[in-house]
Amino acid sequence: AQSVAQPEDQVNVAEGNPLTVKCTYSVSGNPYLFWYVQYPNRGLQFLLKYITGDNLVKGSYGFEAEFNKSQTSFHLKKPSALVSDSALYFCAVRDTFTGGGNKLTFGTGTQLKVEL
């Protein structure tokens, strides 16, 4: 069975500093990996995905993530955090063997708090 671990419930960072939100995964085949963000009272918004190709994936709002197969990780990063980045971030994985549907397995979420 596939699984996702987000080891940090909360990450605090000062505005202007780099941020990292950690994610590790487990799947039986090759993974499709995703990051979604949830702002208060809003739905989850797609940030970026890794399907194949370059291990460094760039997404919305200046975020990027690095796929590391040997460490089974897909950490989310941003060079310079903004207060407006404060939100709940979810990592998700889909096993390529699941067929046509997008039956995603999510992590428990990491609350990012960016302070002035």
Partner 1 sequence: EAGVTQFPSHSVIEKGQTVTLRCDPISGHDNLYWYRRVMGKEIKFLLHFVKESKQDESGMPNNRFLAERTGGTYSTLKVQPAELEDSGVYFCASSLLGPGANVLTFGAGSRLTVL
Chain contacts with partner 1 (rule: CB under 8 A): 4, 32, 34, 36, 41-46, 49, 51, 90, 92, 94, 100-109
Measured from the CB atom, the residue of 78 and 109 that comes closer to partner 1 is: 109
**Of residues 73 and 105, the one with the C-beta less far from partner 1:** 105
89 touches 77 (CB < 8 A): no
CB closer to partner 1, 63 vs 81: 63
CA distance to 5, 35, 75, per residue, from 82 (Å): 25, 18, 18
- Beta-strand runs (E) in the chain: 3-5, 10-14, 19-21, 24-26, 31-38, 44-50, 56-58, 64-68, 73-78, 87-95, 105-106, 110-115
Hey, is 81 helix, strand or coil? coil
Of the pair 70, 99, the CB lying nearest partner 1 is at 99
Q: Shortest distance, CB of residue 49 to partner 1, whole angstroms?
A: 6
Residue 68 Cβ vs partner 1, minimum distance, rounded to whole Å: 20
